[in-house]
Amino acid sequence: MRCAPRLHALLSRALAFGGLPPPPLPRAQLQGITEPGAASRLGAAFIARALATTGLPAPRRPRALQVQRITEPGAASRFGAAFLARGGFSTDASAAAQDSAKPAAATGGEGGDGKSGKSEQGDAGKSVRRGPVSWLSFLLLLVTGGGIIVYYDKEKKRHIEELKNRTSAVKQEPSVGTAAIGGPFNLLNHDGKPVTQKDFFGKWTLLYFGFTHCPDICPDELQKMALAIDKIKEKAKMEVVPVFITVDPERDTVEQVRDYVNEFHPNLIGLTGTTDEIRKVARAYRVYYMKTEEEGSDYLVDHSIVMYLMNPKMEFVKFYGKNYDADSLADGIIKELKGHQ
């Protein structure tokens, strides 16, 4: 009851400062000043009096259904905004006043009972829980995927172990037969005498196919052959006959071959022949060769770089490529010789 006179006095001073007369306040109304909505009704009366003094039309009295809602939180703001809009004030101000009342309405919901807010929160919680992927389903997915990976890894290891066991269980049996390398031939040696494969029976023979005009590969291979022959004789006290067969019969005559083989080793035997005879022996020993034309009669011959070790029956035993040096070639041949004794 003591707050009402003070409020009336403050409002009267404010109105008087603005040139407006103070509002009358009968003592009979002081009793209800503290009732819910009293401030809104009092404010409405002040605003109506102020508008009437300035020449503006008084606000329309709310209907009976609206009187009940005038005591709700934010009612004064909405009511005042309606008066300002009716009086011709800026609509932005009224809109701002209406917006200021929205949080309270959202908090309490329609009718002030708070049921609408609770239902919205419940619906929001339900929508989250009813999403396409929940934490539980995501966890189950991880566990299932991990189990599949572990199972697959175990099966893979088991399969590898089975393959290893099967491989180790296979018995190593001796190879059957020999490669189809070698055969009869009729050629001329570097002294011009006819030579066949039978002339080498009872001796271990090391054959190499090349040509005398070879710039670098053939000299290197023949030098390696000569060194290996000497090492074999020194280490194993065994004789191996080195043989050079040309793949360039057009230029490698008997005289040309003789001069050529004498440069590498005194025991090296050089063989040549006609084009057909060379083609036949090269085919029997699976030797590739092809003449490459360059300028006139000066050409090179592309050919296989292989040495063939033949046993005393002139049967193929093993071949040695360019990757062997003199020492490894000698050791490999010694191993084969001792293995066939």
**DSSP codes of every residue in 34-46:** TSTTHHHHHHHHH
Q: Does 88 or 109 have the greater pLDDT score?
A: 88
323-331 average pLDDT score: 95
Q: In terms of domains, do 220 and 334 share one?
A: yes
| Cβ atoms of residues 221 and 322 within 8 Å | yes
**DSSP codes of every residue in 202-270:** TSEEEEEEE-TT-SSHHHHHHHHHHHHHHHHHHHH---EEEEEEES-TTT--HHHHHHHHTTT-TTPEE
Q: In terms of domains, do 199 and 102 share one?
A: no
- Nearest of 20, 25, 57 to residue 41 by alpha carbon: 25
Highest mean pLDDT: which range of 64-68, 111-115, 281-285? 281-285
Residues 6+ apart with CB under 8 A from 116: 109, 110
pLDDT at 131: 55
Helix (H, G, I), strand (E, B) or coil at 19: coil
Does residue 55 surpass a pLDDT of 70? no
Q: In terms of domains, do 103 and 190 share one?
A: no
The residue segments making up the domain with residue 280 are: 186-339
Q: In terms of domains, do 201 and 68 share one?
A: no
Per-residue pLDDT band at 114 (split at 50, 70, 90): very low
| Cβ atoms of residues 23 and 44 within 8 Å | no
Highest mean pLDDT: which range of 89-98, 145-154, 259-268? 259-268
Q: In terms of domains, do 193 and 334 share one?
A: yes
Angle at 268 between CA 264 and CA 274, to 5 degrees: 110
Q: In terms of domains, do 87 and 215 share one?
A: no
Residues 6+ apart with CB under 8 A from 39: 76
Per-residue pLDDT band at 198 (split at 50, 70, 90): very high
114-127 average pLDDT score: 47
Q: In terms of domains, do 101 and 206 share one?
A: no
Backbone angles phi, psi at 323, to 5 degrees: -75, -10
pLDDT at 4: 55
Does residue 105 surpass a pLDDT of 80? no
Highest mean pLDDT: which range of 110-119, 135-144, 160-169, 188-197? 188-197
Q: In terms of domains, do 288 and 190 share one?
A: yes
Residue 241 within a domain: yes
Q: In terms of domains, do 201 and 329 share one?
A: yes
Does residue 204 surpass a pLDDT of 90? yes
Q: Does 219 or 157 have the greater pLDDT score?
A: 219
Q: In terms of domains, do 87 and 225 share one?
A: no
Residue 236 within a domain: yes
Among the three residues 111, 133, 160, which one is the final residue of a domain in this structure?
A: 111
Residue 73 within a domain: yes
- Nearest of 270, 208, 206, 189 to residue 242 by alpha carbon: 206
pLDDT (tens digit per residue) in 213-251: 999 999 999 999 999 999 999 999 999 999 999 999 999
Among the three residues 94, 111, 128, which one is the final residue of a domain in this structure?
A: 111
Q: In terms of domains, do 104 and 194 share one?
A: no
pLDDT (tens digit per residue) in 261-286: 999 999 999 999 999 999 999 999 99
Burial of 91 (0-12, 13-18, 19+ CB in 10 A): exposed
Q: Which helix (DSSP H) or strand (DSSP E) does residue 152 occupy?
A: helix 135-169
Residue 83 within a domain: yes
CATH of the domain at 215: 3.40.30.10
pLDDT at 106: 40
The model's pTM:
0.49
Per-residue pLDDT band at 141 (split at 50, 70, 90): confident
Whether 3 has a binding-site annotation, put simply, is no
pLDDT (tens digit per residue) in 74-95: 555 565 555 555 555 444 444 4
pLDDT at 150: 86
Q: How far is CA 144 from each of CA 139, 149, 157, rounded to the nearest angstrom?
A: 9, 9, 20
Residue 176 within a domain: no
C-alpha 244/C-alpha 226 separation (Å) is: 11
Does residue 33 surpass a pLDDT of 60? no
Residue 136 within a domain: no
Residue 69 within a domain: yes
pLDDT at 101: 44
pLDDT at 292: 86
Residue 192 within a domain: yes
Task: Report the mean per-residue pLDDT for the chain.
Answer: 74
Burial of 304 (0-12, 13-18, 19+ CB in 10 A): middle
Q: Specify the number of domains making up the chain.
A: 2
Lowest mean pLDDT, pick from 77-81, 186-190, 209-213: 77-81
Q: In terms of domains, do 309 and 220 share one?
A: yes
Among the three residues 70, 91, 111, which one is the final residue of a domain in this structure?
A: 111
pLDDT at 295: 66
pLDDT at 42: 58
Does residue 144 surpass a pLDDT of 90? no
pLDDT at 107: 42
C-alpha 201/C-alpha 329 separation (Å) is: 22
96-116 average pLDDT score: 45
Helix (H, G, I), strand (E, B) or coil at 291: strand
